[in-house]
Amino acid sequence: MFCLRDILSQIPTDGATKWIRVENVISPMPASDVVKNFPDAISWRYICHKKRTDYVLTFQSECFARMAMKKANGLTHLGEKLKLTFMKDEEDFVAAPLCRLTSAYPQLHFVPPEFSYQARRTEADRLVASLVVQQPTNQSWVDIY
């Protein structure tokens, strides 16, 4: 009798894992686009939190990752084709250097979401408005000979 487990163990692996690394993103991709492009992903993380371009997707199993890889084949972002690869282990991207610098595109630094631009602008306007303008007079000067 044949056992399915024996048959599957003899089939060569295609290298699929439950982690897919998405690279060649030239500009930060919004979270809504990531969720729209990969709806089956359980979670995803940016590889570099300063640039917020390349990221790693985690799927429920290798099967879901394979299906997502087939669906995403040929996806583009801002005219550039995305490079999708399976990762051997989730720890690979944690141990890797956080930022890969390229001279082709400027570094982008994002303010954490708890600091909004509008709140900072309101605070700056309040500080400027609280300043009192005083005209300089000669009476407050002291001349020393």
Give the Å distances, CA to CA, from 83 to 69, 70, 76, 98: 10, 12, 9, 18
Backbone CA torsion sign across 109, 112, 118, 120: negative
As a whole number of angstroms, the distance between CA 99 and CA 9 comes to 38
Strands ordered across the beta sheet of 19-23:
43-46, 55-58, 19-23, 83-86
- pTM for this model (two decimals): 0.53
The 3-state DSSP class for residue 72 equals helix
Instruction: Quick: pLDDT tens for 102-114.
Output: 444 455 555 555 5
Instruction: Quick: pLDDT tens for 20-51.
Output: 888 877 777 777 788 888 888 888 887 776 67
pLDDT at 126 over 80: yes
Task: Enumerate the domain spans of the chain.
Answer: 4-106
So what's the pLDDT on residue 41?
85
Instruction: Quick: pLDDT tens for 65-111.
Output: 888 888 888 787 777 788 888 887 655 555 444 434 344 445 555 55
Please give the CATH topology (third level) of the domain spanning 4-106: Alpha-Beta Plaits (3.30.70)
Which of 1, 4, 47 shows the shortest CA–CA distance to 28? 47
